[in-house]
Amino acid sequence: MAHDRTDLWTTPPAELLRPGGGFDLADMDRGDAPGWSGGKKDSKAFLADRAPLLSELQERLFAHGRTGGDRSVLLVIQGLDTAGKGGVVRHVIGMVDPQGVALRAFGVPTAQERRHHYLWRVRRALPKPGMIGVFDRSHYEDVLVPRVQGEIDEEVWKKRYREINRFEERVAAAGTTIIKVALMPSYEEQGLRLMERLDRPEKHWKFDPGDVDTRLRWDDYQAAYADVFANTHTDAAPWHVIPADRKWYTRLVVTELLTQALIDLGLGWPRPRWRVATQKRRLAETMSEESLAEAAEKARKKAAQFQVEEEAYAATVNEVDDDGPVRAEESAADDHMDEPATSRRSKQAPAEKKHKKHNNKDKDKKGKKKS
């Protein structure tokens, strides 16, 4: 299926970045941009092009939530200092209506939080129906930080993996699409980014001396992350491990994952639970002849426009949807369209997918430090 000129994905990133069987974190090229055949400039055009679609998809989700629907999306963002978590929030999440976003940054647990189970604060921050929840760090900190700092032993973090998997499975079953992304820059790149924070007065506030301490434990954190991917990558909540030396690539991937997740919900505009004609009659009684004529004229114009817009939206979604071609082949009888998105999705369950080797490793190498 032909994609429009701004979509330079050769392979959906969801397929490429999921840590399946052969995945080796140590082996991942952090400067790579797997699946993307363009460069940084193309990524900007792509984001600008996607913004209105993402915006409409988000509005449909919000409308769904406001009218009794139970679906929501949760984006879990993990990564060490300078990985680019904030940039993803600003540049990707910043594209949609703030009213539809529930953002939660998880820092070091407070005294109150420490008195509860580590999932307590996470449960309270789950997105309500209709919302896109965003976790800047998450419950995964609880199998990373205390492990590296030697505060818990293997038995505990393994138990936590199981708890987390069960927890996420229940969250997903209740209607939340979970997208987990781990932003993984190289050791060299992290050094450069931290130094930049020290070199630039307007970035000092982003630096904390503890960041260097954490950096000194780099290998331990990488091992802990690798273990997390190996143990908590599930059908209900798959991981996407993103090479993060190029910030623009990270943002591109998260935009694509979010778009696809929203498309998979397959949400139309909700039907009203009240009779339109009745409400129009009630409202008309409060309006002047002149206003009613103006409204009718406007409605006539908009009605035609609505059809055009709906068709354009459907065409765009069809084109952008990475399940598109598959679905088209299967849909001779068109009966699967009523299946829930999750069951359609499960045909290509993430855990069964191999983490394909990145094909364009040698491409555009010089651009490694660009961001």
Q: Does 8 help bind a copy of itself (rule: CB under 8 A)?
A: no
- Report the amino acid identity of residue 296: A
One residue of 111, 276, 308, 333 binding a copy of itself per CB under 8 A: 276
Count of residues of this chain found to bind a copy of itself when the rule CB under 8 A is applied: 59
Q: Does 365 help bind a copy of itself (rule: CB under 8 A)?
A: no
One residue of 86, 146, 175, 266 binding a copy of itself per CB under 8 A: 86
One residue of 108, 195, 312, 349 binding a copy of itself per CB under 8 A: 195
Q: Does 291 help bind a copy of itself (rule: CB under 8 A)?
A: yes
User: In angstroms, what is the minimal distance from the CB of 44 to a copy of itself?
Assistant: 16
User: In angstroms, what is the minimal distance from the CB of 238 to a copy of itself?
Assistant: 24
Q: Which is nearer to a copy of itself, 159 or 280 (CB)?
A: 280
Q: Could you tell me which stretch among 1-9, 43-51, 208-216, 320-328 binds a copy of itself (CB under 8 A)? A: 208-216
Q: Does 124 help bind a copy of itself (rule: CB under 8 A)?
A: no
User: In angstroms, what is the minimal distance from the CB of 209 to a copy of itself?
Assistant: 5
One residue of 1, 99, 351, 365 binding a copy of itself per CB under 8 A: 99
Q: Does 295 help bind a copy of itself (rule: CB under 8 A)?
A: yes
Scan residues 345-364 and list those touching a copy of itself (CB under 8 A): none
The 3-state secondary structure of the chain reads CCCCCCCCECCCHHHHHCCCCCCCHHHCCCCCCCCECCCHHHHHHHHHHHHHHHHHHHHHHHHHHHCCCCCEEEEEEECCCCCCHHHHHHHCHHHCCHHHEEEEECCCCCHHHHCCCCCHHHHHCCCCCCCEEEEECCHHHHHCHHHHCCCCCHHHHHHHHHHHHHHHHHHHHCCEEEEEEEEECCHHHHHHHHHHHHHCHHHHHHCCHHHHHHHHCHHHHHHHHHHHHHHHCCCCCCEEEEECCCHHHHHHHHHHHHHHHHHHHCCCCCCCCCCHHHHHHHHHCCCCHHHHHHHHHHHHHHHHHHHHHHHHHHHHHHHHCCCHHHHHHHCCCCHHHHCCHHHHHHHHCHHHCCCCCCCCCCCCHHHHHCC
Binding mask 212-231 for a copy of itself (x = CB under 8 A): x--xx---------------
Site residues, a copy of itself (CB under 8 A): 63, 66-67, 86, 89-90, 93-94, 97-99, 101, 103, 105, 134, 136, 188, 191-192, 194-196, 198-202, 204-207, 209, 212, 215-216, 269-272, 274, 276, 279-280, 282-284, 286-288, 291-292, 294-295, 298-299, 302-303, 306, 369
